[in-house]
Structure 1
Amino acid sequence: MDIDSMVKSMMTAKKAPLDKMNQQKQLLNWTRESYREVSSKLYDFRYNKLITKYGSNDVLTVSKAVVSGNTDAIKATAGSKANGIDMEVSVSQLATKTTVTTAGAGSGKPSTSTLASLQSAFDSSDPTSDAAKAKEFKLVVNSQTFTFKGSTDIQTVISTINDNSLANVTVTFDETTGKLAIASKTSGTDGKVELGSGTDDNTLLSLFNKKNQTEDEWTTKTGVNSIATINGVEYNNSGNTFTVNGVTITLLTKTNTSGTDVPSKITTQTDTTAAVDIVKSFVSDYNTLIAALNSKIDEEKYRDYAPLTDDQKAEMKEADITTWTLKAQSGLLKNDDIIKSVLSEMRAHITEQLGGLAEMGISTGTYAENGKLVLDENKLKTAMEANPQKLMNILQGPASAPATGIFDKMASSVFNAIEKISNRAGTNRYSADLTSTFKEESVMGKKLKEYNSRISTMLTYLDNQETRLYKQFTAMETAMNKLQSQSSSLFSTSS
């Protein structure tokens, strides 16, 4: 008897339910992956486009600040609230930060040097000894106390102090001079670098002195505010960047460096180029997204192409397997309710403002184009030159009600879709990563758990069935062999 062939033949029929479950599980996994792809596109459109790229107040501004006269002294950028007033700017003082600088530990001191090695320059101690490594050095700045052992290197000292937000200072080290500098993070007269007054409060700074370790071997420069005169009015600021008449001005240098004041002049011009480019980019991003979503819900579904079993794959060529699998994966999200809903909502946000958008050169395509936006650049440019605020109000919403703008409305609808997909498929609602793991407590995650449990039970059942069949056929073969032996013996005796 060919027991293996007989058992295999009988088990094939018994394995049919298992194959069916594995196919259903595979379809569920493929569907989750399709949802993750959709969620990734939605996340990218919402966070990277609607919020980050198009959500800024100034992205649709049509004002451009032009600096003439002393073009080296200032930089100017017009914002959305630029009022077009010309300005003459004279800069008499730049804002600086309060800074404490040591005399220097000498050249040739890399930032990897330890504090013990700096100490050895004063007392000729062995920097590798346990005592030198254990010796402590202290710094008190802005009421924050730092203590370091001799084994600590300079770069660690710097990062430790800089990472302390309460100290509010930035420490730098010049390897060419060995000077350590401590600067306030806040510029102007508000910035401070207040050292401790105790006897041992500044032993760390003493290491970075050339001559000796007395506490007066460092210099302090107090920060000052910037002073600029704009159209005859003096402006005193803690920083070098501030906004006047809707224009952000950055002071770069004094205007009277040669002894004679050479002021800078700022004029505001209308320039629709950047705003038009932003609208073009939005239209392109929107059209790309809805095309991708429409392709999912319109994709043909081949119901006769189920996922292949291992046995089926074993009898097929690799190219045929690929072709079959592509058809089996097609149409998994056909007519999906979540995708159809978000598409409908986004189109509604456009339709609500279609009259105003049409006046600005933005319209929808034909019915067959499924809500695609069409842009007339010349019409948009002309409309923005005439009334730039109108498009800003439509897309971003007025300053008093930004949530009424198309961008905010779309962002809300897209987020709702991302959440629904996450609840159903277990996708990460805060990432566009296509390799992110799925949440098990989603609808599909629970369904997969159920499949895994049923498959495990079925495998145990089939294993028991196979064992039983082998035992039965083996016993049958043994009995038949015994009967054959008895028959042979009987015939032999008769003859």
Structure 2
Amino acid sequence: MVTNSGISNVITGFTGVNSAQLVNDLVTAQLEPKQSDVRERQNLNQARISALASASSALETFSKALSEVLNGRQLTGNLVSTRGDLVAASFIPGQKPQGLPATVQVSQLAAAQSMVSASSYASTSSAVGEGSLTITTSAGNFNVTIDSTNNSLGGLRDAINATNSGVTASIVTDNSGSRLVLRGKEGAANSFTVTGSGGSAALDAFAFPPAGGAGMTSVTTARDSIINVNGIELTNASNQIDTAVPGVRINLLAAAPGTNVVISGDQPTSSVKDIVNEFVKAYNDLRGALNSATAPGLDGASGGPLAGERAARDMMRSMASLTTKQLTDTGTYRSLADIGVKTNRDGTLTLDSVKFDRALAADPEGIARMLEPATPTAGNPGLAKAFEDVKTAIKAPNGSLTGAQNRLNKIAADLTKMMERVEEDSDKYREQLEKTFAAMDRQLTVLRSTQSYIEQQVSVWTNSGDN
């Protein structure tokens, strides 16, 4: 006989299920493995992108540092003047010296026009008279006004300096009293005159040329320096000359017409070796980082982020070619290999000091020109230009590095779309499950209603049987 409890047990077997939790569990079970796979591929691809970006940045930094080191050291040794009492010489920062050795004769030093007041005053506060002065230079006229507020020798000095005319006023004092001194800038074009106006005869004492017998006394006349460089006469408004020998600053200390002064660079042995050692060390740091990034995974260990990446291999091959690349088309020593720079099995470099020292002793200037020519050319690019060419080729729009970066960026975009599709498929699966369980819930509701009716009927039958 069918009992109430029997029917209830049958229906209850389909109830008590948390359908929302079940849907979440089913969706998660399908979604997580797919997401994990895509995420793992994204992480690997991003690691490659980051590693390539780091390699590109390191390449740029190395190239810039190499150029700065070579350009800053000026592989000419130290500048030497055969007459340091007549001419001093120094390198102009950021420029490469050319045309050395150079022969210089100093015929005349540049000078600034200067003058002193003929009359002396008891002190700087002594009155000088009211009125005005006009200072005339190549830049124009500059007016100086003296009135009751500044009628003193010190006031006149300050008023002249306030014009910013290029003429500087000062006061000198000795046992005879205080006098005004005017000084212009060096060079013949910087001469000046001073004229008085305003009816004050007292201010005529500061006129130059003197007016009516009263005025300033000339001390020096404005003139240019006159030098002869390698047979060419040059004039300059200053005693510091940057344009006579390219890359060299000449300071004139004294004139000695007819006396030759030779400016040259001494043998640059120590600076050349220091720079080559710096290059080898910096190169090895860069190469070591690339070796680690491209290392293959061995014995189950994971490899570097750029393992198997062709762009990285191309970069390393291009860098390795530097040791044998011709840096000059003249002389005995034309490449880094010629002066003792060797490539090790792992791609790093070693400097053979014995071979290098022998080459440097034989031709220090030739090696300096090979490493850093005054003007890089196709036949004589020098080390910095040669590496710059390697970097440019690698990073060119059609270069291996740019191609790899574009490819990896496309993969990143594709993986992003793939993750979006996985999530879209998951949403569709969730929607399907929710519809299925909603239908089941509706069926269970019907079954529970039927269950209630049957239970009532069974109860009636049972009671009828008992009677």
- Report whether the alignment pairs 1:340 with 2:313: yes
Listed as ranges, the gaps of 5+ residues in structure 1 are: 107-173, 192-222, 305-326, 427-441
Q: Secondary structure at the match of 2:411?
A: helix
Shift of 1:387: 1.0
Q: Aligned partners of 2:26 and 2:159: how far apart in 1? A: 81
Q: Secondary structure at the match of 1:298?
A: coil
CA contact (8 A) 2:320 2:343 kept: no
Which string of whole-angstrom CA distances, capped at 9 and with x for unpartnered residues, describes residues 380-420 of structure 1? Answer: 45533431233235434696645554443332122221233
Q: Secondary structure at the match of 1:251?
A: strand
Paired position in structure 2 for 1:491: 455
CA contact (8 A) 1:60 1:274 kept: yes
- Report whether the alignment pairs 1:387 with 2:363: yes
CA contact (8 A) 2:295 2:307 kept: yes
Paired position in structure 2 for 1:158: none
CA contact (8 A) 2:88 2:251 kept: yes
Q: 1:414/1:451 Cα in 2 relative to 1: closer, same or farther (>3 Å)?
A: same
Paired position in structure 1 for 2:280: 283
Q: Secondary structure at the match of 1:93?
A: coil
Which string of whole-angstrom CA distances, capped at 9 and with x for unpartnered residues, describes residues 149-180 of structure 1? Answer: xxxxxxxxxxxxxxxxxxxxxxxxx9996545
Paired position in structure 1 for 2:395: 418
Structure 1 window deviating more from structure 2 (11-20 vs 31-40): it is 11-20
- Kindly tell me the number of residue pairs found equivalent between the two proteins: 346
CA contact (8 A) 1:301 1:334 kept: no
One-letter identity of the residue aligned with 1:470: E
Paired position in structure 2 for 1:298: 295
One-letter identity of the residue aligned with 1:351: T
CA contact (8 A) 1:298 1:331 kept: yes
Aligned counterpart in structure 2 of residue 32 of structure 1, from 40, 49, 52: 49
Paired position in structure 1 for 2:234: 235
Aligned ranges 1:160-309 → 2 under 5 Å: 179=163, 225-228=224-227, 234-237=233-236, 240-242=240-242, 248-251=248-251, 255=254, 268=264, 269-300=266-297
Q: 1:484/1:403 Cα in 2 relative to 1: closer, same or farther (>3 Å)?
A: farther
Paired position in structure 2 for 1:459: 423
Q: Secondary structure at the match of 1:447?
A: helix
Q: 1:414/1:474 Cα in 2 relative to 1: closer, same or farther (>3 Å)?
A: same
- Report whether the alignment pairs 1:64 with 2:41: no
Aligned counterpart in structure 1 of residue 413 of structure 2, from 442, 445, 449: 449
Q: Aligned partners of 2:159 and 2:304: how far apart in 1? A: 64
Q: 1:352/1:360 Cα in 2 relative to 1: closer, same or farther (>3 Å)?
A: closer
Shift of 1:249: 3.5
Shift of 1:493: 3.8
Paired position in structure 2 for 1:76: 90
Shift of 1:490: 2.1
Paired position in structure 2 for 1:45: 62
Q: 1:398/1:33 Cα in 2 relative to 1: closer, same or farther (>3 Å)?
A: same
Percent identity of equivalent pairs = 19
Q: Aligned partners of 1:468 and 1:343: how far apart in 2? A: 54
Q: 1:271/1:28 Cα in 2 relative to 1: closer, same or farther (>3 Å)?
A: closer
Aligned ranges 1:350-365 → 2 under 5 Å: 350-352=323-325, 356=333, 361-364=339-342
One-letter identity of the residue aligned with 2:438: T
Paired position in structure 1 for 2:348: 372
CA contact (8 A) 2:322 2:387 kept: yes
Shift of 1:448: 2.9
Paired position in structure 1 for 2:202: none
Q: Secondary structure at the match of 1:17?
A: helix
Q: Aligned partners of 2:410 and 2:447: how far apart in 1? A: 55
Q: 1:250/1:410 Cα in 2 relative to 1: closer, same or farther (>3 Å)?
A: same
One-letter identity of the residue aligned with 1:41: A
Q: Aligned partners of 2:411 and 2:58: how far apart in 1? A: 25
CA contact (8 A) 1:105 1:178 kept: no
Q: Secondary structure at the match of 1:255?
A: coil
Q: Aligned partners of 2:297 and 2:159: how far apart in 1? A: 67
Q: Aligned partners of 1:34 and 1:189: how far apart in 2? A: 62
Q: 1:422/1:245 Cα in 2 relative to 1: closer, same or farther (>3 Å)?
A: closer
Q: Aligned partners of 1:353 and 1:85: how far apart in 2? A: 30
Q: Secondary structure at the match of 1:374?
A: strand
Q: 1:456/1:382 Cα in 2 relative to 1: closer, same or farther (>3 Å)?
A: same
Q: Aligned partners of 1:62 and 1:283: how far apart in 2? A: 20
Which string of whole-angstrom CA distances, capped at 9 and with x for unpartnered residues, describes residues 44-80 of structure 1? Answer: 122x1344433x4973223532475437x74434965
Q: Aligned partners of 2:81 and 2:97: how far apart in 1? A: 15
CA contact (8 A) 1:98 1:188 kept: no
Paired position in structure 1 for 2:21: 5
CA contact (8 A) 1:18 1:458 kept: yes
| TM-score, length of structure 1 as denominator length | 0.56
Larger radius of gyration: 2
Q: Aligned partners of 1:481 and 1:188: how far apart in 2? A: 110
Q: Secondary structure at the match of 1:270?
A: coil
Q: Secondary structure at the match of 1:343?
A: helix
Q: Aligned partners of 2:159 and 2:57: how far apart in 1? A: 47
One-letter identity of the residue aligned with 1:348: S
Structure 1 window deviating more from structure 2 (31-40 vs 88-97): it is 88-97
Q: Aligned partners of 2:297 and 2:50: how far apart in 1? A: 18
Shift of 1:37: 0.5
Q: Calculate the aligned-residue CA RMSD, in Å.
A: 4.6
CA contact (8 A) 1:301 1:331 kept: no
